Amino acid sequence: MVKFAREHPAQQIIVVTESGMLHRLRREVPDKTFIAGPTDSCACNDCRFMKMNTIEKVRDALKTMSPQIEVPEETRKAAFVPIQRMLDWSKT
């Protein structure tokens, strides 16, 4: 995210992620304005549940492949499009 912010020509960037990233972006890219992007129904950048995640929990979930989340195929296909777009952008 820092690399993107440095290289993108925009002077204002809306960031929808954990609030700690906003502090880092503001510190490392001081010449740009970063705007926290909560939605009408969620202040995701300060979500107490997001803060419960740890690298150890991610590791354990990947090791055991649990818990499993089952998503209807139509929802999976729709969600795949923006995820693939983000991954494609990260390669540039």
CA separation for the pair 34, 11 (Å, rounded): 9
Q: Where are the beta strands (DSSP E) in the chain?
A: 12-15, 33-36
Strand partners, 35: 14
Could you tell me the two tokens for 36? 């926290």
pLDDT in tens, 6-30: 999 999 998 877 777 888 999 999 9
pLDDT in tens, 40-49: 566 666 677 7
pLDDT in tens, 39-80: 656 666 667 777 788 899 999 999 999 988 899 999 999 999
Residue among 58, 56, 35 nearest 45 (CA): 35
| CB within 8 Å of 25: residues ≥ 6 apart | 1, 2, 5, 13, 15, 32, 34
Q: What pLDDT, on the 0 to 100 scale, is given for residue 43?
A: 63
**Phi, psi (degrees; rounded to nearest 5) at 83:** -65, -45
Q: What percent of the chain has pLDDT over 70?
A: 89
